[in-house]
Amino acid sequence: MTIPAVSIEKLNFAYQGQSTKTFSNLNLDIAEGERFGLFGPNGAGKTTLMHLMTGLLSNSSGSIRILGNDIKQHKKEVRRLFGFVPQDFSFYHELSPVENLEFFGAWAGLPAKTIKSRTTDLLEILGLSDVYNKPVEKFSGGMKRRVNLAIGVIHKPRVLFLDEPTVGVDVQTRHAIIGYRKHLNSNGTTLIYTSHQLAEAEDLCNKIALIDEGEIIAHDQLSSLLTQHSEEGLEGLFLNLTGKAYRDSDV
């Protein structure tokens, strides 16, 4: 039996001061090598679940395992296995892409020599070679997204979490980012991805989970879900399962 990339069992979580739980006995398995999409309306719990899987939030009970390692018990080992590309730009704006990669590579536990060669490769692949020594604060939104992605994969993680990685970018950048993610996946990296760009998700994901009010309401191959619910696309399926009412998060 193969070990899943992510295994969540009986997960319970509530934010501090909140009476109702965000997640109650949630179970989810994501197989290694999958391109997994996590979708849901605003406030459904996507980002919270991603933060729980990456250890940014701590669950009150239940367990989360990354490639068989409990994220609480084997914190350090687990952090070597996955990479995270947050929705917000997560780097030092005063530094250049090379300087950012040097620093985050070191924190990921890579030796200087490896960082250097990986940096050259990543800047080339993501089209940042010409601006390698310019401070990131001077970059466009699309360039910053690519820097954000490069830092998340510098240590060649086996599982990559991507939280809305293409928000606010132009078509060219989106195309480049999707292409690179597919390339990573073809080399064995499991992709776990959230987005509101459903057309993009259709192109990228081979398996999806729809989450609403802290519960997984659908979880299967995209093609199977579309057949089950007689829908032609992910947007139709999304509206069918989550309804058309506004989902403004609590103010």
Question: Which residues in this chain contact other proteins in the complex, by CB under 8 A?
Answer: 54-56, 58, 75-77, 79-80, 82, 84, 86, 88-92, 94-95, 99, 102-109, 111-112, 135, 151-152
Whole-number Å distance between alpha carbons of 176 and 146: 9
Strands (E) across 67-101 are located at 69-70, 82-85
Distance in Å, CB of 224 to other proteins, minimum: 32
Distance in Å, CB of 24 to other proteins, minimum: 23
Nearest to other proteins of 88, 232 (CB atom)? 88
**Contact indicator for 160, 83 with CB cutoff of 8 Å:** yes
Identify the CA nearest to 136 among candidates 88, 178, 98.
Answer: 98
Nearest to other proteins of 16, 230 (CB atom)? 16
Nearest to other proteins of 58, 60 (CB atom)? 58
Distance in Å, CB of 1 to other proteins, minimum: 27
Distance in Å, CB of 233 to other proteins, minimum: 32
Nearest to other proteins of 89, 226 (CB atom)? 89
Phi, psi of 12 (to 5 degrees): -125, 135
Strands (E) across the chain are located at 6-13, 23-30, 35-39, 61-66, 69-70, 82-85, 159-163, 190-194, 207-212, 215-221
Distance in Å, CB of 154 to other proteins, minimum: 10
Phi, psi of 124 (to 5 degrees): -65, -50
What's CA 140's distance to the chain center, in Å? 22
Nearest to other proteins of 103, 241 (CB atom)? 103
Whole-number Å distance between alpha carbons of 88 and 165: 9
> In the numeric block, which tokens belong to residue 158?
């086996």
Distance in Å, CB of 111 to other proteins, minimum: 7
> In the numeric block, which tokens belong to residue 112?
């200087």
Nearest to other proteins of 80, 219 (CB atom)? 80
Distance in Å, CB of 53 to other proteins, minimum: 10
Question: What angle, 0 to 180 degrees and rounded to 10, lies between the N-to-C axes of helices 97-107 and 141-153?
Answer: 30
Nearest to other proteins of 155, 181 (CB atom)? 155
